[in-house]
Amino acid sequence: MMQAEIEATFLNIDHDELRMKLKAAGASLVQPAYVMKRSIYDYADLRLDQQKSWIRVRQEADKVTMGFKQRESETADGMREIEFDVSDYEKACEFLEAVGLKTKAVQESKREVWRLDDCEVTLDEWPWIPPYIEVEGPNERAVRGASAELGLTYEAAIFDSIDGVYLKYFDVTRTEISTVPIAFGPVPEWLEKKRRA
């Protein structure tokens, strides 16, 4: 059964300033910053994309996960997921390709993880866009509370996947951005031309 992922995303956040707020609020650093890699999969006809869904294999700091995600709505609990640990990133990718899925994109980012009350606060850096954070918790009330403790205005949050974040900065479609290899380095020339003013 798919579980709701309860999280709020706050864009364009100064991570140094937020770390001070986290420390002042009594938060604990769970995982120092690390580079995270993920491979995104779909069928050749992009049928999952058309259903606002995707399959992901993700290399985290200390584990590898595989998951199915579906964006039902742009609300705090609008993302559904089934996620589980696997032992080998490359083998998981090979498995998905063996059953007929195609690599849609490979992405990398940097993530730092903090714990504040019942919530996980991640400081995320993705190529070509300003840093942002996610506050994830067991329910919307907890997420609202942790956000308020950090001085964040909940009404300013967005509730979307990373492709939705990129749409705030580039004039592209979800399908276009979700098929771009995203890695630290220069922004592709064609994409730079689509940067929003």
Residues 22-42: pLDDT tens digits? 999 999 999 999 999 999 999
Q: Which domains does the chain carry?
A: 3-192 (2.40.320.10)
pLDDT in tens, the chain (197 residues): 778 889 999 999 999 999 999 999 999 999 999 999 999 999 999 999 999 999 999 999 999 999 999 999 988 889 999 999 999 999 999 999 999 999 999 999 999 999 999 999 999 999 999 999 999 999 999 999 999 999 999 999 999 999 999 999 999 999 999 999 999 999 999 999 999 98
For the full predicted model, state whether its pTM sits above 0.85.
yes
3-state secondary structure the chain: CCEEECEEEECCCCHHHHHHHHHHCCCEEEEEEEEEEEEEEECCCCHHHHCCEEEEEEECCCCEEEEEEEECCCCCCCEEEEEEEECCHHHHHHHHHHCCCEEEEEEEEEEEEEEECCEEEEEEECCCCCCEEEEECCCHHHHHHHHHHCCCCHHHCECCCHHHHHHCCECCCHHHHHCCCECCCCCCHHHHCCECC
